[in-house]
Amino acid sequence: MNTPIKPPPKKGSGCSAKGCLIVIALAILLVVIGVGGTFWSVRHVYLSDKPVPIPEASTPSETTGTVTPGVTSAPSPIERSAEVRERLDTMKKAARTHEQTDMELTAADINALIAANRKSSGTASVGIDGNVLQAQFSIPLKRLDVPFQSAFGLGDRYLNATVTITAPPGTNASSVQLNEVTLNGHSVSANLLDWGLPGVGRSLRNYVIKYANHYGVTGGEIRDGKVILHTSGH
């Protein structure tokens, strides 16, 4: 008697680049629909027909054939992304064994993660000035394989947004707040994290909590030009 072979279990993954883009786009569009009130205002006021240039992550300097002793080129986004992912995995393992640990992420680290993935490359960039983080998005809606872009003819539009965040010590996934959100130059509700997504019911904060739990992050802060993540050890 032959025993049927069960398919291998699907590997859990963090927030995929495309999945994150869809969640961000849906959440922002929900706020826009609530604020703008009409399809015309969504299409012509809050969405754009042109992308906003997104700064590229730094790449290694081109060599001219001579190598200066003691001088090394900067790592490529793929190399830096691999190093950051390794540190994230190390933090996750520490959290699982109830070890208290911290991890620092610079803007360059975050931008390398974005640039190293072909689905997110060129759509977002992060800058950190002291204790303020600003994220810039320019997402072509045609890249998102979701019903609204074809049903409402939004496939030729771009979601151009900037989001500003401060996170003092003691901030966690349940308490983090957005300070300012602008869409195509227009201010929208900063309560974006707590708005339920259409057809889903869950809020963007649910996803923030989900991925914080995935890596064992119990708290964090933005300080000295870095995002600092903590695991409590409990």
Question: Predicted confidence band at 9 (pLDDT cuts at 50, 70, 90)?
Answer: very low
Degrees to nearest 5, angle at CA 159 with 183 and 204: 80
Name the residue with higher pLDDT: 109 or 116. 109
Q: Give CA separation, 37 vs 3, 41, 47, 65, 196, in Å.
A: 58, 7, 14, 60, 17
124 CB-near residues (< 8 Å, 6+ apart): 54, 114, 135, 136, 137, 138, 139
Q: Which amino acid is at 18?
A: K
Question: Predicted confidence band at 48 (pLDDT cuts at 50, 70, 90)?
Answer: confident
49 CB-near residues (< 8 Å, 6+ apart): 156, 157, 158
Tally of CA atoms within 13 A in the half-sphere of 190 that contains its CB: 9
Question: Predicted confidence band at 65 (pLDDT cuts at 50, 70, 90)?
Answer: very low
Token readout for 161 is 């947004």
Average pLDDT, integer, range 1-25 = 47
State the Rg of the chain over Cα. 20
CB 57 within 8 A of CB 126: no
Q: Sheet of 219-223: strands edge to edge?
A: 101-106, 226-231, 219-223
Q: pLDDT digit string (tens) for 80-107?
A: 989 999 998 999 999 999 899 999 999 9
CA-CA distance, 220 to 173, in Å (whole number)?
A: 8
Position 41 scores a pLDDT of 65
Question: Predicted confidence band at 126 (pLDDT cuts at 50, 70, 90)?
Answer: very high
